[in-house]
């Protein structure tokens, strides 16, 4: 089968399309014919081995000189090809979506995934839309619901609202009855309004940490502000949820891990709840996200699609060109050029 592989850390030029052996499902696994796979920030972090501290702190994904897994990509959607002997929930032909976690391997024609990490695809979604959901949607769901504990009438600010996780966070928070403020650039203001943001802060013109507004929850997806700035935007007993972020700037030692370490050290001395989101793959959360998508409460927003052979360019676009919402790799029909599906 065709797959995008990598042996050593570096830029997207280290990725190449190769023929590799098709995987065989274990007893508790499902073999899926991949139709679409989403690109996430984690792909370029693992591709580059950045930040370098992650090579020590996250051994499941990072080796010392190269990624632990050769095939990039973790989110997928496709059809079940075969099932292991202990799998009873699925049968060949079922349409599914899921998240491989740090196992990676979704930028390929086939992938094996544990039964517990896959769920049925909502019937009304395309494979591209379904592939866009798992990691970004789960990150948003866990940040808003589990750590943020967002309730109706509360005020939440999402820093990085037009990104992959941010577009889900805005919609999920809105579905929970929150008043949502989205921080993004002017070019993405109409996008975040279209998916439910009540207020938009253009970061080039306004500083959300200095405008006097206070929020019950600040969900930071960018890691471009200090801990002091983020706390200044909170109510006296508000909650700060930190989730990744960082930019590609030639490599870093600590990257976005720096602010999370500071938050963990400070959290015992302040009234604010300072929380770091550690995302775990969850079948129950996939089911919840599928229900939200099926009901129309959450609509996956796709910026661009690329064929499998252009997956390195898709990662480069997400990493360096400030992509908005989700970027998706299509595995079928691998001859067409990338499609710009940006929403205003």
pLDDT score at 247: 59
Considering 254-258, 323-327, 333-337, the range whose residues carry the highest mean pLDDT is: 323-327
Query: What predicted TM-score, i.e. pTM, was given to this entire model?
Result: 0.92
Omega before 51 within 30 of 0, i.e. cis: yes
Give the mean model confidence (pLDDT) for residues 245-255: 65
Residue 156: helix, strand or coil by DSSP? strand
pLDDT of 155 over the 50 cut: yes
Question: What six digits make up the tokens of 317?
Answer: 């676009």
List, in order of start, the domains of the chain with CATH numbers: 2-133+300-340 (3.90.180.10), 135-276 (3.90.180.10)
Alpha-carbon span 328 to 10, nearest angstrom: 21
Least-confidence region, from 42-56, 75-89, 262-276, 293-307: 42-56
pLDDT score at 248: 59
Question: What six digits make up the tokens of 83?
Answer: 């099932």
Give the mean model confidence (pLDDT) for residues 14-43: 96
When the pLDDT of each residue in the chain is averaged and rounded to a whole number, the result is: 91
Higher pLDDT, 196 or 101: 196
Q: Which contacts of 311-315 are long-range, i.e. CB under 8 A and separated by 24 or more positions?
A: 311/4, 311/15, 311/17, 311/39, 311/72, 311/73, 311/107, 312/4, 312/12, 312/13, 312/15, 312/16, 313/12, 313/338, 314/39, 314/338, 315/12, 315/15, 315/39, 315/43, 315/44, 315/47, 315/72
Least-confidence region, from 81-95, 147-161, 166-180, 313-327: 313-327
């Amino acid at each position: 089968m065709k797959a995008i592989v990598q042996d050593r850390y570096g830029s997207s030029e280290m990725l190449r399309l190769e023929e590799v052996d098709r995987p065989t499902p274990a007893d508790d696994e499902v073999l899926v014919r991949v139709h679409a796979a989403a690109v996430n920030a984690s792909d370029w972090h693992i591709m580059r081995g950045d930040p370098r501290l992650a090579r020590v702190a996250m051994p499941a994904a990072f080796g010392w000189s190269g990624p632990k897994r050769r095939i990039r990509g973790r989110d997928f959607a496709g059809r079940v090809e075969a099932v292991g002997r202990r799998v009873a929930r699925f049968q060949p032909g079922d349409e599914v979506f899921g998240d491989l976690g740090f196992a990676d391997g979704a930028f390929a024609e086939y992938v094996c995934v544990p039964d517990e990490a896959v769920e049925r695809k909502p019937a009304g979604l395309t494979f591209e839309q379904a592939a866009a959901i798992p990691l970004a949607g789960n990150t948003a769901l866990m940040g808003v619901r589990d750590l943020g504990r967002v309730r109706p009438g509360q005020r939440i600010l999402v820093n990085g609202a037009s990104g992959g996780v941010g577009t889900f966070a805005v919609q999920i928070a809105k579905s929970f009855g929150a008043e949502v403020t989205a921080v993004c650039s002017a070019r993405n203001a109409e996008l975040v309004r279209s998916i439910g943001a009540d207020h938009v802060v253009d970061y080039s013109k306004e500083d959300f940490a200095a405008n006097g507004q206070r929020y019950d929850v600040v969900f930071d997806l960018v890691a471009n502000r200090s801990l002091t700035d983020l706390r200044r935007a909170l109510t006296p007993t508000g909650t700060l949820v930190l989730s990744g972020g960082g930019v590609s700037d030639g490599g870093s030692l600590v990257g976005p891990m720096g602010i999370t370490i500071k938050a963990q050290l400070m959290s015992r001395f302040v009234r604010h709840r300072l929380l770091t989101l550690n995302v775990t793959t969850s079948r129950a959360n996939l089911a919840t996200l599928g229900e939200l998508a099926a009901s129309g409460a959450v609509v996956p927003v796709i910026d661009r699609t690329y064929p499998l052979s252009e997956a390195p360019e898709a990662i480069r676009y997400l990493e360096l060109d400030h992509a908005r919402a989700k970027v998706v790799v299509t595995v079928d029909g691998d001859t067409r050029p990338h499609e710009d599906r940006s929403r205003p």
